[in-house]
Amino acid sequence: MFGRRKRTVQGEGYDERYDESHGGEEAAVEPYVVGELDDHDEALPNIPVPDEPGAWQAPDVLEQRLYELVSRHAAVEWEDEEAEDDARGALTLAYLEALAGELVYVPFRREETSPDPRERTFHVYDTSVGRIVAVYTRGLLPRPHPYLVFESYTLRDLADDLPDDVDGIAVNTQTPCPMLMSADAEERQVWRALHNEHWDEEGRAERLVTLRTGVPPVGPLLHGLALGAHMCFVNGEAWNNPHYHGLGLSIEHERLAKWWGITDRDEWQHTQRRLLDREITPWYWEFVLDARTALAERYTDGRLQAVDATAWRGYVETALRERAAQVPEQIGPDWEEFVAHVVGLVGKVLRYEGRFRADGLLAADAAVRSVAAWDIGRASMMARWGYGARFATRAEMREAVVEASEAAQSAHTSWQDFSAGYALGRCLHFDDEEFGGWYQEMLAAHRALSTDPDSPWHTVPFHVPRAAVLGG
């Protein structure tokens, strides 16, 4: 159980013992289900340094860069102390420059963090080299712990928010790429300047991120994680990361509340179930697409694109009215308006498909078979969001992701088919035929997933055996 053991913090010239004790269960007033089920001993990173220099495979590009910097410096035999000091200064600057373009993560006891950074209590370690705060890069974060959480900071935010009496930060301690650096007033000014030079908020989004280590083997879990690759691309998150922390606990709570109205475990469970059951997307979207499939099977040998648009509209309207005749007591005053709206979806789908084909999101002879992907892909992400927010247990997250995998394979035929359905669902939900940012993000995601060799579309088959070991 976290909170009763000692660990060694190792950095550049830093090897001190510190206590990880915390309030934990004793501090909880109400039962904390996630805490009861998910407490574990991997609260902070603890990655052995390989015996052979340069042999470590970093999880992501940033950590690989930091490892190369640290390894290169350690491999040099310095002629004198002055030369070593100069090199150490250059190393620290290069390390900081790498950090300045990314978020860093600070661990907090759960009861000592807050959505307001001014209300957080930093855990400060009193060491022989001064008062130190631990900081980590995202690729090294361990699986979420219920009582120890991480909050994200830019280098500038860290300079502003660290208590004035903190003397330094230990970055990525107990990993192959550690660095201990000063946090005095002069150094914090350097951090702010480097942030202004290197931080690019837009550059951190719309990028395909693939972790190299710590990922599940090919199977239902990895396949289920890959279903969220569109949204991971949009947010610049690793699609294959089973240990989701997102932007830190407070921002993850904020995002779930803003976009989904989720503020606690019960609400997360309810929304997760509705997504997996495909109950959030309006039923009549799939109804319209199923009508075309029925016509295609009857008249065009299954070729969806060959279905006549007028016949399709007529079939939709007839089927709607036949359904309504069976339950006349449910027909309200806006029924005719509703029928017109659903019939009008035929034209909207056709126009989106035309744009999809022109942009390469659909093949020239293809059409969208289903929008099931829209709920299923979001279900894959919701599982991770709930886990990162500590609303879901690790087992619940994995079970939901695997269930999403099975649902996707039942509803779609390939990654391209899944992608087209996801894009259409997102556009029907948000875009309103403007072909603006909501669509452009999907087009960029589709192109990256189609072409990048690290994409799950090239590394994970769309159909995986259900009996495969989950792993990860």
Q: Say if 209 falls within a structural domain.
A: no
96 and 55 part of one domain: yes
75 and 192 part of one domain: yes
Q: Say if 211 falls within a structural domain.
A: no
In this prediction, residue 81 carries a pLDDT of 78
- Judged against a pLDDT cut of 50, whether residue 418 lies above it is answered with yes
pLDDT (mean) for 380-397: 98
Q: Say if 466 falls within a structural domain.
A: no
Q: Say if 1 falls within a structural domain.
A: no
Q: How confident is the model at residue 29 (pLDDT cuts 50, 70, 90)?
A: low
pLDDT in tens, 157-175: 999 999 999 999 999 999 9
- Judged against a pLDDT cut of 50, whether residue 12 lies above it is answered with no
310 and 190 part of one domain: no
254 and 381 part of one domain: yes
pLDDT (mean) for 349-373: 97
297 and 353 part of one domain: yes
323 and 401 part of one domain: no
Q: Say if 29 falls within a structural domain.
A: yes
pLDDT in tens, 248-305: 999 999 999 999 999 999 999 999 999 999 999 999 999 999 999 999 999 999 999 9
In this prediction, residue 79 carries a pLDDT of 76
99 and 173 part of one domain: yes
Q: What does the mean pLDDT of the chain come to? A: 91
pLDDT (mean) for 144-159: 97
- Judged against a pLDDT cut of 50, whether residue 28 lies above it is answered with no
Percentage above 70 pLDDT, the chain: 92
336 and 385 part of one domain: no
d(CA 199, CA 267): 35
226 and 180 part of one domain: no
In this prediction, residue 30 carries a pLDDT of 67
pLDDT in tens, 209-258: 999 999 999 999 999 999 999 999 999 999 999 999 999 999 999 999 99
Number of domains in the chain: 3
Q: 271 lies in which domain range?
A: 220-281+372-459
Q: How confident is the model at residue 203 (pLDDT cuts 50, 70, 90)?
A: confident
In this prediction, residue 5 carries a pLDDT of 30
pLDDT in tens, 73-99: 887 777 777 777 788 889 999 999 999
Q: Say if 464 falls within a structural domain.
A: no
Domain end point (choices 359, 384, 416): 359
445 and 401 part of one domain: yes
- Judged against a pLDDT cut of 50, whether residue 363 lies above it is answered with yes
259 and 310 part of one domain: no
Q: Say if 236 falls within a structural domain.
A: yes
Domain end point (choices 169, 199, 229): 199
In this prediction, residue 88 carries a pLDDT of 87
pTM summary value: 0.90
178 and 291 part of one domain: no
Between residues 324 and 238, the one the model is more confident about: 238
Q: Say if 210 falls within a structural domain.
A: no
